[in-house]
Every structure is written in structure tokens, then in C-alpha cells.
A and B are shown apart, each in its own frame.
Chain A
Amino acid sequence: MKIIAIYSSKGGVGKTATAVNLSYDSAHSGKKTLLCDMDPQGAAGYYYRIRAKESFNRKQFLKGDLEPFIRGTDFENLDLLPAHFSFRNLDIALDDRGGSAKELKRIFAGLKDEYDVLILDCPPNITLLSENIIMAADLVVTPVIPTTLSILSFAQLIKLADKLEVNRKKLAAFFSMVDKRKKMHTDIIAKFGKKKLFLESEIAYLADVEKMGIYRQPVAVSASASSAATAYKQLWQEVWRRGVLS
């Protein structure tokens, strides 16, 4: 099972849209896929129209007792583990359990025989949870809006990975919500786009992605012939290649 974390310490960069669309593309390519919504806002679950079971909470999650709480999406090969509001304190809970950066790895270990791919939709922060995510993932994918702040967030992630002595090959970034009409976007892409950690695929700022909130479906379903659907498919192929090689 390959664990792919969609992570950024910055909010509003398109993490959830990425996690939702990549998980769909992964499942559609025939891989048994689980999308784990770790963001207490539960947006990934919202897009797939899945609510968490009442009995599910942070405690169950930390125990690693995930199987009874996984729910099937409307799509073949794709399941979802919904988030719970109590996930907002996941950091504190991890700290209470000894502050290890390897807790998440243990929690997900029980899923390895059932799934080919586990995609984590991570909350925006830079805490012990982030360390756990980096340690557990085979690949950490970061959406980067071509702006200064977003680049700074990515630099923070690199720094954190170095601190954890994690190979930088485990990190991958791609430009998200790109608006080629903006000079700042084109300048930043020109400056950083060729760097090894950046993937070639880009996701443009597109209405179809925004409309996911209305249709509550991945773009490949709500707008199958759209450029957004094509872009996510390409991104998935590139991410999978990196994930396999990482």
C-alpha cells in the first residue's frame, strides 16, 4: 500500500480538491483506494456525500480501529474514512501518547492488505501531526499556489523534512489554482517550476473545480470532458509514478 499525503501548512491551496480528485483517479485506474479525511472540517467526506458514523471519533482513530468506520463511496474501488470533529485535537492527543512521529504509521498499518493506495487529506498546520504525516507517507504532495506565501509554506515543509531526516525525494509539489493571466503566477512558475521537487502537472484556477461543492462529485464525474478532469488525471499519473519511485 502506498500512502500519499496531500499536505500543506497553508489553507485554501486546494488540498481537499486534490485529494478528492486524485483518489477518484486512483480508484478509476483499478487500484483499491482509501481516502482518509483527516481534516476536522470534513470537506472530503462532504464531496463524497459521506458522514462519519456516530460512534466514530478521535479515540477510535488513534486506536487504529479503522475498519468498522470506513464507508464505500458511490465509485468502484474507492472507500472513504470520514473525519470527525474531534480530529481538531489530534495534535494534542498524539502528544499525550508520547509525542512519537510514528503513530500514524502504526495506525494505518492494518490497512495495508486491503488497499493499494491510501490518500490522506491533511489539515493545514505544522505540528506533531504534520511530522506524523511526513513519517507515514511514501509521498507528500503539496499544492502550491504560485504566490510568495505559498512558496514559503513549501520551504517550511522542506525544512521540517530535513529536521526529521526524511529523504527529500518523498516530497513533491505542484502548482495549484494557477491563473496564467497573473504575472506573479507566471514569474513564480518560471522560477520554481523547473526544480526537481516540482511536478510538471499544474492545476489551473477553474470553475469546474469550484463547482465540486455544488455537485459533490469529483470533476471526472461532474465534468468528465473538462480540462480540470484531464489535468487531475495527468497529475495522478505523475504522482503515482513518483510514489512508486520514492
Chain B
Amino acid sequence: MNENCLAYILPGPVELASLLSGLPEKYHIRECGISVDTICYLDTFDWRLNNKELLCFRIGKTSFVLTSFAGEFKLQEEGPTHEKPLPLHFSDGALGEKLMTVAGIRALLPRAEITRKSQCFQVMNRDQKIVFSGSLELNQLIPPDNEEGCQPVSLGGSLRLLGVRGYDKILEKVTEGLKLQGLEAGYSEERTLRLALTELGENSHHYSSQFSIILDPAESVILAAQKIFFQLLKGMERNVFGIIEDFDTEFLHDFRVALRRTRSLLGSIKKIVHPDDIVRFQQGLKDIGTFTGPVRDLDVYLLAKKDYQSMLPEGLQEGLTLFFQGLAKQRLKELQRLRKALQSRKFHSFMAQWQEYLENSILLSSLISGQKSCKEVASKSIRKRLRSILESGSQIGPQSPDTELHCLRIQAKKLRYLLEFYRSLFPETEMDILVKSLKKLQDNLGNFNDLSVQQKMLGEYQNALALKEQKNAIKVAAALGGLITHLYEEQIDVRNKFEQTFEQFTTVENSKLFTLLFK
């Protein structure tokens, strides 16, 4: 029935009859009732949908729409009842699949909520045939829960017209009339979201899990370090609420990444600030790493559930299911501990001290070398770290112990952090090539380490089962045995690929690039 859809921007309430006043006499308007819907715009914490120019909103409780900004595609399906659903909560339809591809493991959080009052109508000719239809909509922003007493804010509205095939002329006449009234076509759902976000004082670029900072090559390294530390501190703080509320597992992941980066940078400026300060804060940061570790470790296993399932035959699946049920229970317990720690006076006090130090003391406690230009220090640090990687890596052979690979992994990670911190000081294209190359090496070393840690954890779990003599312990132990065997074989495979991966990292081209950039 509807061949084309036009949407006009309305600045505020307006009478339908006056909008369509140019309609010839032989046509009449039939009003079809008024409906009021609550519309909740959803996106991940790091705006993954918005970054792909997609918009997701929920109408009422369970009707979900996913649409592109340009509107060339639109999916509408019934979805889960969760207020902040994960893509996996959706059924296997096209909408769920698309969400899974774009949002991945991140929860869809309410970003703005509006009420939409819609007055639907049809325009009919003398034969009582519908020649076009439409709706007049008014949007109001619902103030967030914590702002009681706030009045709903008008976000304007829209006039939507749906043409009927073969009745173009009358629609053209109406649109000409609207143009004369100064109305603009081009209303979009995205526009309403932007207006709502502006009212809420938010924008869709507030958070990205990617680290990015622009430094001035001539500024002192202590000033650069202060900026980087601040950004990392903000990154940690922004994720605390999401960890406590347990919206999704990425909040903790991002928090810990910012934490590790902070610790790594702190460790690399030993000659720049007073050593006592470093010791003082390293310990506090390490403690945070310790109490946030158990939940993250469990998340890693729980997120890999499907991979584990694919490693085992049907006969061992029951044991594996029981194992994962045990992990999920354990995670709940660990999450309670984590919440307590993140809400503790000790944590808040440490974070406040760290912030206070960054704001007021770090520049004062700078040693003479802290006044060197950040580019000079960055080049030297990267060179030094690279040399150490090349030396350690070239000594690793087929018979080398696993510990040497673990050490190399940590060095590579530290180099990666340095490259990320100081990325803006060097040419972008060349830096991209090096980071990409380093990432491949890190993937190999990371996989090797993960497989090692997983085998150890599964072995410990197996031993604990034997001691507890739990019901179903045999089934679980059998599944874990199967997993350990599979992981061991995979680890050998990854290990065999190390030398080739390391050679690819140390190519002549890369060496030239390193020398050229960090001389």
C-alpha cells in the first residue's frame, strides 16, 4: 500500500487540518485515533550502534526497532523483557543477528526515553479510497529517574506521510502546500535522539574503549604523563558503575585495561618522578588489579562457553554444563566481593589520592629528566623496550621453557602500551604498520599464555572436585580432562607457530621503520 514515506520536522504542536489546508474539496481527512507510546533509545556504553550509524529503540516493553540513520533498512521484532538487554537475549531473527554483529557482548543501555503521542489519519477520495495516510507525532523527553520534579521537555515532532501507489498527484499537491508553510522534510529518528541527548547534556562521543590522546612533541614528558594518567583515570572511573551494576563484562575488562596501562606507564617513568611516589601508587594499583581479577578470570571462561562446547563430544557435554553452572555461581560470589571492594572507603580513598596527586603533586615531584621533551623520552623508551624484545625473542628456541615466552609476552605488552601512549608523536601510517605487526606477535604470545592459564585453572578445579567428592564430580572431571587435552594440543600448535610469527615481526622493513621513527 505505501510506496513512499515522507517525514516533516514539526517545531511543536500544530493542527492537522491547518497542515493539510491545501487539500482539494473532493478529499477528506479521516482521523484514526490517538496513541501514546514510550520510546527508549538504546546503545552500548561505547556507542557501537551510533558509530555504525545505526539506531535501536524499544517501543513499549518488548517491541524493538533497529534502523540505519539514513533509513535504508529497518528491522522490527519482538525482543526480550530485560531493561538493558544483551544481544544474546534476542531470538535468532535478523534484528538479533545484526545486534550481535555490531554490539557483540555489550549490553544495550537506555540512552534517552521519550513519549510519543501519535495521531493517525487517512486521506480519502470520493470513492472512500485511501489516497495517502499518515501520522502527526509529538515527542517529549522523559527526565531521568534521578531528576524528580523535572517537567517533560518538548522535542518537537513530525508529520509522516505514506503515499499510495498510483495516487502521486494528490501527495505532490499536499507536499507543495507544506513547503509553502515552511515545513522541512527530513525528520529522522536520529534527529529526535540527538535533541534528547542535547537536553540530557550527553553526546555520543563521550566514551570509547580505544585509548587515544594527542600530545605535543615539545612538551615535557612529565606533562605528557600527567595527561595520559588523567585519561586512564577517567577511563577507570567511568566503568565503575557498570561493573557494580553488572550490565556487561566489558566494563570490568575496560577498567582493567586502563589499570594495566596506568601501572605500565608508572613503571616506565621511574627516573622521572620521585621513586617513593611510584612505590606508593604501584602498590595501590596492584591491589585493585588483585581484587578485580577473579571476576574477570571467570568472565573469560564463561564468554568462551561455546568454544569449550565445540571442543568436546556429546558424551562429555553434561559434565561441561555442570562445570559452567558452577562457574556462574562462583562468579556471583566473586562479583559480590568485587562490588564491596569498589564501594569501599579504601578504594575511594586511593582513587581520590591518585587524582589529587595527578592534579597537584606529580609536576612538583618531577625529577630533572621529567623536563625532557616527551618525544625524546618516548623514542628512547620504545627503542629500549624493542631492543629487549628482539634480544629475548631471538633466544627462544623449540626447547626454551614456557616462562621465557611469558616474559616476552609482558615485554611486548609494555611496548604496545608505549606505542599507544605516544602514537600522536609519530607519523600515523607507519605507527599503524608497527602496531599491526606487534599485535600479531602479541596474539601468538597471548594465546599461548591463555591456553597455559586455562589448563592450570581447569586442573586445579579438577583437583578440588576430587577433594570435595561432590555429586556429578566424575562427569565434570571427565569433561575437564577432555578440555585439558584439547587445550594442550592447541597450545603445542600455537607454540610451533611462535618462531615464524617472531620472524614476521623482525622483518627488515619493520627494523627500518623502528630505526626511522625512534632514532
Contact = CB atoms under 8 A, between A and B. Distances in A.
Interface stretch (A72-80, A130-138, A156-164, A176-184): A72-80
Interface string A70-103: 1111111111000000000000000000000000
A195 to B, nearest CB: 39
A53 B129 contact: no
23 contacts: A49-B128, A49-B129, A50-B129, A51-B127, A53-B166, A69-B166, A70-B165, A70-B166, A71-B165, A71-B167, A72-B2, A72-B164, A72-B165, A72-B166, A73-B1, A74-B129, A74-B130, A75-B1, A77-B1, A78-B1, A79-B165, A216-B127, A216-B128
Contacts of A50: 127, 129, 166
Interface string B199-229: 0000000000000000000000000000000
A72 B167 contact: yes
Interface string B1-43: 1110000000000000000000000000000000000000000
A48 B165 CA distance: 14
Determine the main DSSP class of B at the interface with A: loop
Interface string B462-491: 000000000000000000000000000000
A76 B129 contact: no
Interface of B: 1-3, 127-130, 164-167
Interface string A50-71: 1101000000000000000111
B164 A71 contact: yes
Interface of A: 48-51, 53, 69-79, 216
Most chain B C-beta atoms within 10 Å of own C-beta, residue among A48, A70, A71 = A71
B43 to A, nearest CB: 31
A76 B130 CA distance: 12
A74 B167 contact: no
Given A51-B127, A73-B1, 5 more contacts: A50-B166, A72-B1, A72-B164, A72-B166, A79-B165
A53 B106 CA distance: 54
A72 B129 CA distance: 10
Determine the main DSSP class of A at the interface with B: loop
A76 B162 CA distance: 12
A51 B131 CA distance: 12
B1 A74 contact: yes
Lowest 3 CB-CB distances: which A-B pairs, in order?
A: A71-B166, A72-B165, A49-B129
Contacts of B166: 50, 53, 69-72, 79
Contacts of B127: 49-51, 216
A75 B165 CA distance: 11
Nearest to B162: A72
A11 to B, nearest CB: 25
B122 to A, nearest CB: 8
A82 to B, nearest CB: 9
A78 B128 CA distance: 17
Contacts of B165: 70-72, 79
Contacts of A79: 165-166
A74 B167 CA distance: 12
B242 to A, nearest CB: 41
Contacts of A49: 127-129
Contacts of A71: 164-167
A79 B166 CA distance: 10
A53 B167 CA distance: 9
Contacts of A76: 1
B133 to A, nearest CB: 9
A75 B2 CA distance: 9
A40 to B, nearest CB: 19
A70 to B, nearest CB: 6
A146 to B, nearest CB: 35
Most chain B C-beta atoms within 10 Å of own C-beta, residue among A48, A70, A71, A74 = A74
Nearest to A82: B166
B71 to A, nearest CB: 19
A149 B129 CA distance: 37
Contacts of A69: 166
B169 to A, nearest CB: 10
Nearest to A46: B127
B192 to A, nearest CB: 26
A70 B164 CA distance: 10
A50 B130 CA distance: 10
A79 B1 CA distance: 7
B77 to A, nearest CB: 15
A132 B130 CA distance: 33
A73 B164 CA distance: 8
Most chain A C-beta atoms within 10 Å of own C-beta, residue among B127, B129, B130, B166 = B166
Contacts of B167: 71-72
Given A53-B166, A79-B165, A72 B128 contact: no
Contacts of B128: 49, 216
Nearest to B164: A72
Contacts of A53: 166
A50 B164 CA distance: 12
Contacts of B2: 72
B32 to A, nearest CB: 12
